Copies of this chain bind each other. A is one copy, B any other.
Amino acid sequence: MSGQISPRQLEAFHAVVEHGTMTRASQQLNISQPAVSRLLADLAHDLGFALFDRRDGRLVPTQEARFLLPDIRRVLDLLDRISETSRDITQRKAGDLRIACLPGFAISHLPRVVADFLKDRPGVTVTLEPDRPERILEWMVGEQFDFGITDGFDGHPAVEREEIRVRTVCIFPQDSPLARQDVIRPRDLVDQKLIHTRRDSPFFRLLNEAFLADGQSITTFVEARQFTTACEFVAQGVGVSVVSELDAVKYRGQGVEYRPFRPAVPHRLSLVRPIHKQPSMITLEFMECFAESLHPFRQQDE
C-alpha cells in the first residue's frame, strides 16, 4: 500500500467509473483484474471512504467519489497532455521561439519563412520582435530572445553569429530607361536621384566605396533607414536605390524593376543568438531553416 494516493490508483478508479466493472476496466488498462481490485482497495483505504456501491451488478461511484471525479479527470488529462507535448517537443512540433529582427524583415521575407516553419509544427508559438540593431544586440546579450536577424554587426563576446552576404540589386521605377541594361554600375546612376541608407551605416560605406571605385561619388537625395522604405520611394517614382534582392523581389510588379548592381556590394546580414544560452532544438532547427531560405539570395563570391 502507498499511504499516499498514487495516480495509478486514480487511473484505475477512473477506468472503473467509466466501465462500470473492474473486469472491463482491467481490460482497458491492459492489466489483470486482481491488479485493479488491489489498486481500488488501496485507494479506498488511503482516502478513508468507500468508492463504489454495488447496484444490480454495476459499480456506481458513491457521492464522495463523484465529488472528487472532476479533479481526477483533470489530473489524468493533464498527465496525458504532458506526455503528448513532450513527444511533440522531441519531434520539434512544439516549443516557443522568440525572434528579434530588423523591421524590414518583419514585413518582408521573415513572415513567409515563419509561416512555412509553423505549418507542420502545430504546437510551436513564435514571438516576433522587430527593432533597431542596437536593441537586437541588447536582447541577445540579455538572452531575452532565441534568435536575431540584424546587419552591420561587428561581433560581441556574448553573441554567436553567422554572417550571410545577400546580393543587392539596383531598383528603379518600372518605366525607367535603366530597364534596358543588363547590369547597372555607379556611373549609370550619375543623373539619377539616389535613395540610400544612412550615411553612418556600414552598408552606405560599402556602397560609397563601390562608387569611388567607379570614379563616381554619391550625391544624397533621400536617406532611408530601411531597404523597404527605399523600395516604397522607388515605387512612387521618386528615384533609384541599391537594396537587398530580398526586398527587391517583393516590390517587383509593384511598379519597381531591378537589375544586378556592379561592383557587388553585398548586404551583410548577421544571424545571431546568445552564445551562453543553450539553444532549444526548435531554435536550432529554425535557424537552419532560415539560413536555408536565404540561400537563393546569397552573394556568390567572385
**What is the interface of chain A, defined by CB distance below 8 A to chain B?**
4-7, 10, 46-50, 53, 55, 62-64, 67-68, 71-72, 74-75, 78-79, 81-83, 85-87, 89-90, 94-96, 146, 276, 278-283
Complex alpha-carbon distance, A79 and B7, angstroms: 8
Complex alpha-carbon distance, A7 and B81, angstroms: 13
Complex alpha-carbon distance, A279 and B276, angstroms: 62
Secondary structure of the A contact surface, majority rule: helix
Knowing A68-B86, A90-B49, say if A63 contacts B95 (CB, 8 Å): yes
Complex alpha-carbon distance, A36 and B167, angstroms: 54
Query: For A49, what are the chain B residues with a Cβ–Cβ distance below 8 Å?
Result: 86, 89-90, 281
Ranked nearest first, the 8 interchain pairs of A and B with the lowest CB-CB distance are A48-B90, A63-B280, A53-B278, A47-B86, A75-B78, A7-B7, A64-B89, A71-B82
Knowing A53-B278, A89-B49, say if A10 contacts B96 (CB, 8 Å): no
- Tell me how many chains of this kind the complex includes: 2
B64 touches A281 (CB 8 A): yes
Query: For A53, what are the chain B residues with a Cβ–Cβ distance below 8 Å?
Result: 278
Nearest CB in chain B to that of A278: its residue: B53
Residue in A71, A79, A276 with the greatest tally of chain B CB atoms within 10 Å? A79
Complex alpha-carbon distance, A87 and B4, angstroms: 11
B85 touches A67 (CB 8 A): yes
Complex alpha-carbon distance, A68 and B53, angstroms: 38
